[in-house]
Structure 1
Amino acid sequence: MNIQWFIDARKARGLTQSELADGICTQATLSRFENNGQLPNLKILIKLCNRINLPLSELFPIVGVRYSEVVEKMNKAEFYLITSKYEEAYQLINSIDIETIEDEHVSFRYYYLNGFIMIFRQQPIMDILFTFDQVLLEEETKDSLIFRLLAYTGIGMVYARENDLSKAEFYFNKVLEKIYNYPVQNMEGTWRVLNIVFQCGVFYSTIEELEISDALLNYAVTICSDNHVTYYLARAAIQLAKNAILKKESKDKILELIYDARAYSKVNRNEIALAELIDLEQSVLLDM
């Protein structure tokens, strides 16, 4: 509850505590509310709010329709993120006023999403690191762990983008120490673990640690299969095909991975992945 808004509204109308309380409650009741956060009964609170023309809902900015709309926007933004629709995700996140969010879990989710979207939109490194710091500088709790791991992953990604691979590996290693033991409890948790595992797989391919990369990507495929999630199957298969090319495996093996990725991409209607696969297949066929 934002009691300060109540106090500011009273003072803006030039009323003392005694003047506002007159005929509604005792001045002591109002003082205990404003100074100690002790709520009067709902009837009294409504009358006090009405006298200063303050909607009761303004005291509860994180509940009701307004809060539901924020969560719904984040749900859609997270879905756009995992389906590579970064501009759509950006438009949703950009429409959220972080100052209205008081729930720590929701705030962490906002910063994780914003940080990843900033990476894919090629935003400056310092801005991205500052965004992830909003998660990492808070005390670690059981609920915040997955967002901390996502923040470490994002930092690793941005250092890899800047070709500072030693720093990138430092952060990816921090993630790998904990992600295998993270208890996934719902579908959103599955998406987030997949995001982490996939991005780790991509990084280790970048530094040509292909055995580690393949193990992570195949782990991502297993998670998808066990949880009936298809969104990362295409991306994992594409990266496995790229790894197979680097390892100079047989053309048949590479094409099989490409065709698997194409099938997954069609199911998910992932036009970005399909376009990438056309180029990848053509490059393989030209070498045959």
Structure 2
Amino acid sequence: MIVKGSLLKQRREQLGISQGQLAEGICHQSMVSRVEKRGHITSMTVLKALCMRLHIDISQVAELTNENHVQLSYVRELVECFEYKKAKKILESTSFMQNMEDMVMPEFHLLKAICYSECGEPQKALHFLQMAMSGTLHTQTGLLIEIFNEMGSVWIKLDELESASDCLERCLNLIKSLPETKAEALKLVIVKVYRRKAELAVASKAYPEAIDWVDQAMNMLPKVNAYHELVQLQKIKIKSAEELGQQAEKKEAMLLAYAAGLFSQDQKLEEETRHYRSEMDSK
């Protein structure tokens, strides 16, 4: 049967696990390699097991099922769109953890931490970040970057700026260690680290530094489906430019944020950014 092998590979790399780790107890590593490269598999049983281990809905890789299980990949999509309350409700449901593989537990704890942090519960967020860290392998570089980045975010919220700086420096060091191909695959993760650095600079009232980090993030921002992240970056630039009295830069950032909301086809994001248009027209 034809499957989306590239999607399986993307999800595996997102979790930072090897083909051998994914295949263990299910099939031979060479089968995983063939599925990823050729997009073809003969065994539905093996495909279901691989998807379960990756915590991805089989309907995302093959249109041969009516199952409708919510998976971590869907929760991550909600988090990427800043739908924290909806994601949190799913993560807290007692049925959600059924049949969850050990290798995705660090991601589960990370996503739960992000939701708690964004819903105003930073201490709970730190607890789940510690749980995520304890279950993450040193080879899972992308996941480690995400965990340290979120720790930095929580410390910023708690006004512990030195601790936040330490966490974000760890992120930058991990990013520097990435091979070029891995860095390309983790573009959005790296962008989020740069955004946190910008948020830390704003908290420290270092507004020129904040704008510099936003510009670096924009240069790395993926061209597709990154509207929510773009808006967050421009919000930082708007505030920083306002503090520095840079009206032209502020107006440009407002225009970018408005345009992102308009083209996102996300009603909530469009409504959130609509006021920038009226503010620009009034000036």
TM-score by length of 2: 0.66
- Tell me which residue corresponds to 1:78: 76
Tell me, which stretches of 5 or more residues in structure 1 are unaligned? 1-38, 40-59
Query: Could you tell me how far apart the structure 2 residues matched to 1:187 and 1:75 are?
Result: 20
- Tell me which residue corresponds to 1:43: none
- Amino acid paired to 2:84: Y
Q: Over aligned residue pairs, what C-alpha RMSD do you find?
A: 3.2
1:92 equivalenced with 2:78 (yes/no)? no
- Tell me which residue corresponds to 1:198: 195
Deviation per residue, 1:250-282 (Å, 9 max, x gap): x23311210111101211134554445455676
Change in CA separation of 1:274 and 1:130 when aligned onto 2, cut-off 3 Å: same
Query: Which residue of 24, 49, 55 maps to 1:63?
Result: 49
Query: Could you tell me how far apart the structure 1 residues matched to 2:252 and 2:92 are?
Result: 40
Tell me, which stretches of 5 or more residues in structure 2 are unaligned? 1-24, 26-45, 58-70
Query: Could you tell me how far apart the structure 2 residues matched to 1:200 and 1:273 are?
Result: 23
- Tell me which residue corresponds to 1:110: 108
Q: How many residue pairs end up in the alignment?
A: 222
Query: Could you tell me how far apart the structure 1 residues matched to 2:259 and 2:240 are?
Result: 19
Structure 1 residue 67, shift from structure 2 partner: 4.7
2:152–2:196 CA contact under 8 A, matched in 1: no
Structure label with greater radius of gyration? 1
1:214 equivalenced with 2:200 (yes/no)? no
2:208–2:240 CA contact under 8 A, matched in 1: no
- Amino acid paired to 1:238: K
Query: Which residue of 127, 139, 157 maps to 1:161?
Result: 157
TM-score by length of 1: 0.65
Query: Could you tell me how far apart the structure 2 residues matched to 1:256 and 1:174 are?
Result: 32
2:75–2:87 CA contact under 8 A, matched in 1: yes
2:255–2:276 CA contact under 8 A, matched in 1: no
1:136-175 maps to which residues of 2 (within 5 A)?
136-138=133-135, 140-142=137-139, 144-175=140-171
1:255–1:281 CA contact under 8 A, matched in 2: no
